[in-house]
Every structure is written in C-alpha cells, then in structure tokens.
Amino acid sequence: MSLSVFKFMRHTVENLPHCKKLGLKFTQLDEGVGAMQLDPKPEFIGNTAQNFMHSAIVTTLLDTLCGTVASSAYSEGRTVATLDLRLDHLDRLHGDRTLYAKAECFHHNDDVAYVRGWAWQDSEDKMVAKATGTFMASGTFKLQKEDM
Amino acid sequence: MKTLFGTSSLQDINTLIPYAQLVGLDISSDEHGLLTILRAHDDNIGNEIIGAVHGGVVAGLMEHAASFHLLDELANPVRIPRIINVSIDYLRPALNKDTFARGQVVKQGKRVANVRVTAWQDDENRPVAAAHAHFLIA
C-alpha cells in the first residue's frame, strides 16, 4: 500500500468529530500496525475525588486505533465495522498524564481482521489497558484525488 | 449508596462526572428501573458516512451504564465499583439519536460483580450493542 493511503487514513480518522473533540493523534500508521497518543483534558475525568480519567477514554483510544489498524492491514485499504471489542482495564488512568497506545493486526483474512492493542501512561511496560478487537472488512477505503 | 454518597442521588453523582457531561450521559428511570441515556450529540460521531456514533462512545455508554446499574442494585456499597474488564458486541450502527442502556447484575459476589448491559435506540428489541463487564466492588 502506498504511503499516501496511510496518510489519508490518519487524516480521515483524526478529523472524525469525536476524535477531533478528544484530540486523538496518530504517531504511527503502517500496514497492520499503528500508534496513537492522547493528551489529558479536564473533561476526561470520571472520578473527580481522585482525578482519574473515565475508563471510556482509554476504550475510545484503543477502539479508534484498533479499527484503523484493521483497515491498514489490507493492502488495498478496507473500511471495517467493529464486531466486538474486549477491554482489560489494568490500572487507573491518571487525569493529568498523556495516554499512549500501540496496536497490531495479528491475523486477517478476506472477511475478518483480528487486532490487539495496549495503552500506557508512564512507560510501555506499565500498561493501563489491553484490548482485543474483531473487525469485519467491508468496502475499500475511499481515496480522494486531492489526498494522493 | 446511601452511606457511600450521603443523600446524593445517582443523578446528582452523574452530573458531577466531567466525562458524562462531555459526551452527554444522563441517568434516568422508567417503569422497569434505572436507564442510562446517551444523548444525540454531533461531537460523538465516529463514522461520517452513515452518521454513526463513535464505537468508543457506545463503549463509554456501556461502561457507564454498567457501573451505575451496579451502584443502583448494591444494597450497601463500600466503594465506587472499579471496572476490571468489559466485552462489547456491536450489533447495529448507533445513529445520531438518543441511545438507551439498561443493566442487569448477573452475579454479585463478595468482591466481584458480573453485569450485563443492552443498548438500543428506537426499539428495545433491536439492540445496537450488548456488553458484559466485571467490577471490583469491595
């Protein structure tokens, strides 16, 4: 797949209304692998007494990243629909620290892509969440002329 | 709840949660009990082609609903339930309209509770998502 396809995917996903609202940014996207980061915002808090982010924040980060990595696993670039997503919430999410995530598509066939992802705040070996997602591949990723 | 949160209602607690306000999560009730509602919100869109709510926000509704339904059913909670894991099945696209979720505590043990949640939009019999989650409750 050409580099411009990955660039187009990054741009498209980062500009989806909810991704834009949260401030989700890619730091890497290649064939079947990717990384994202999310800087903290006061609106992400779910536990005000202890200043922890809501678990849904890391779920959204990993859902976005795993879905995009599933798309990028297909050489022609396919749109995908999430079948299921399983999240292990391993540790508290500190409300004032950046979240980082990586994901890889560990298997895909014509119909289904299987992706695992993980997130951390301080260092990659201290994960705060782990995700496994299954995605149905549908249409080809629509590449517009101006994005080539 | 009564001891953990004083006289505050679940609705009061919910309004103090910044994330709930960010995406538009309300706690309500109907004749069958507690209802968690994700309000239609243009900022929640995650698929512009079909105008569907971001899967992460749907997951947020499921996690939020599970913890509130658990709080509602716990006779005497000693701590805020802490999520251990959650598994979400996406059954239909959630379009940009109000989404409703209802939870059911399948098993409440001494330390762990297992909760199921179903979410729908127009018809409770046509769910958009189903989830099950484990929470640490003590």
% of chain A residues with pLDDT over 70: 93
Q: Categorise residue A45: left if φ over 0, alpha if ψ from -120 to 50, beta otherwise.
A: beta
Chain A and chain B share a number of CB contacts under 8 A equal to: 114
Q: How far apart are CA B13 and CA A104, in angstroms?
A: 38
Q: Which domain holds residue B113?
A: 10-136
Q: Please count the structural domains in chain B.
A: 1
Any CB–CB contact under 8 A between A47 and chain B? yes
Q: Do B18 and A60 touch (CB under 8 A)?
A: no
Task: Note whether residue B72 is domain-resident.
Answer: yes
Q: Rounded to an integer, what distance in angstroms lies between the CA atom of residue B122 and that of residue B131? A: 19
Q: How confident is the model at residue A148 (pLDDT cuts 50, 70, 90)?
A: very low
The CATH number of the domain where B101 resides is what? 3.10.129.10
Establish if A81 touches chain B: CB-CB under 8 angstroms. yes
Nearest chain B CA: its distance from A70 CA (Å): 14
Domain ranges of chain A: 3-147
Give the number of C-alpha atoms closer than 13 A to the C-alpha of residue A105, restricted to the C-beta side: 28
Q: Indicate yes or no: CB of B89 within 8 angstroms of CB of A84.
A: yes
Residue B6, C-beta contacts closer than 8 angstroms, at least 6 positions apart: none
Asked, for residue B31, whether it belongs to a domain, the answer is yes
Inter-chain CB proximity A56 and B59 less than 8 Å: yes
Distance in angstroms (rounded) separating the CA atoms of residues A71 and A58: 20
pLDDT for A1 beyond 80: no
B48 touching A, CB under 8 A? yes
Residue A145 reports pLDDT greater than 80: no
- The answer to whether B60 faces chain A, any CB pair under 8 Å, is yes
The answer to the question of residue B14 being in a domain is yes
Q: Report yes or no on B5 lying in a domain.
A: no
Q: Quick check: A92 pLDDT over 70? A: yes
Q: Does domain A3-147 have CATH number 3.30.450.40?
A: no
Task: Give Cα separations from B9 to A81, B61, B103, B132 (angstroms).
Answer: 37, 19, 18, 25
Q: Is the pLDDT of residue B51 over 70?
A: yes
A56/B60 CB distance under 8 A: yes
Residue B70 counted as domain residue: yes
B69 inside domain: yes
pLDDT for A3 equals 66
